[in-house]
Structures are given as C-alpha cells and as structure tokens.
C-alpha cells in the first residue's frame, strides 16, 4: 500500500515537472514573448509591435533555432538590455524581496485573520455563557414575574 502511494507521488511529480523541464530546454517564442519586455514601450513583447520588439523577437527565434535554452536566451537578453528586459525580477539579491514580500504578506494576513477569528470566538463564548447564567444574585421582581405569568396565560388561551 505504502509502495503504491510512493509510486503515485513520483508519477504526479514527473507529470508536473516534465512540461517545465521541456520548456527550459525547448522554449517557444510564444512563451518567451510573455516573459520579455519591450524596452521602449514597457510592455511584454506579445503586446508590442515596435521595431525593437520585432528585433528581439527575431533574436529569440534565432536563438531557439540555434538550440539555446530558455535561461541562456534570457541571460543574453539581460547582457544586452539589462535586467529590466525580464518581465519578472530575478530571484537574487534585492530582487528576491519582490518574490518574498507577497509570501510574507500572505502569511501575516493569515496570522492576523486567525488571531481575529480566535479573539472573536472567545468573546462570543464568554458572552453566551454570561447570557445562559443570567445576572448573578438578582432575584426576579415579584410584580414583573406576575406580569410575565399573566402574559403567558393569555398566550396559551
């Protein structure tokens, strides 16, 4: 049973990893157009038909035909145009913050929500218990009790 489960996990991992590995070794122009910026128009290549965007497209096609991997093509573009030519920041140095901060934000948000839910439920339990017990040491007023009994009697008729 345990062996079958391990095999299932391995197959699932391969299914997920295979397209990524294929995309790294055999990238397509369409994929890279969404990951590379046009330096003059500040949009991704797939949104631009400017002369420099067309030139970069031709460069990418030539590099794909020459057998370059996705990383190699991106590195050559960064050498020519600087890191801003990539649509997403690199995962190194200061740029790593751009990847980490959203995760930190999500974790902090989850912690705050959890804390709020916990305090709210605790307050709610406390007030429910107080309601169930009634005010301690306060006998019901005799006149008020009589009026309640009369009202209930009328209601039952």
Q: What's the sign of the alpha-carbon dihedral 23, 47, 92, 10?
A: negative
Joined tokens for residue 127: 């007030």
* Contact set with other proteins (CB under 8 A): 39-40, 51-52, 54-55, 59, 79-85
CB of 157 to other proteins, least distance (A): 49
Contact 28, 38 (CB under 8 A): no
Distance (Å, whole) CA 144 – CA 123: 31
Nearer CB in complex with other proteins: 81/89: 81
CB of 115 to other proteins, least distance (A): 9
Nearer CB in complex with other proteins: 55/124: 55
CB of 112 to other proteins, least distance (A): 8
Cα→Cα distances 18→15, 43, 100, Å: 6, 29, 26
CB of 111 to other proteins, least distance (A): 12
CB of 153 to other proteins, least distance (A): 44
Distance (Å, whole) CA 24 – CA 38: 21
Nearer CB in complex with other proteins: 54/127: 54
Q: Is 146 exposed, middle or buried (0-12, 13-18, 19+ CB in 10 A)?
A: exposed
């Amino acid at each position: 049973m345990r062996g079958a489960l391990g095999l299932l996990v391995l197959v699932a991992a391969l299914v997920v990893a295979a397209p990524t590995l294929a995309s790294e070794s055999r990238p397509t122009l369409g994929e890279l157009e969404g990951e590379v910026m046009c330096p003059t128009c500040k949009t991704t290549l797939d949104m631009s038909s400017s002369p420099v965007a067309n030139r970069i497209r031709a460069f990418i096609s030539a590099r794909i035909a020459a057998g370059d991997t996705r990383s190699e093509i991106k590195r050559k573009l960064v050498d020519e145009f600087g890191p801003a030519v990539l649509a997403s920041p690199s995962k190194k140095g200061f740029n790593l913050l751009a990847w980490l901060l959203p995760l930190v934000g999500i974790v902090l948000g989850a912690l705050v929500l959890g804390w709020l839910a916990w305090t709210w439920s605790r307050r709610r339990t406390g007030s429910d218990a107080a309601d169930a017990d009634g005010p301690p040491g306060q006998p019901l007023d005799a006149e008020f009790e009589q009026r309640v009994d009369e009202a209930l009697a009328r209601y039952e008729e």
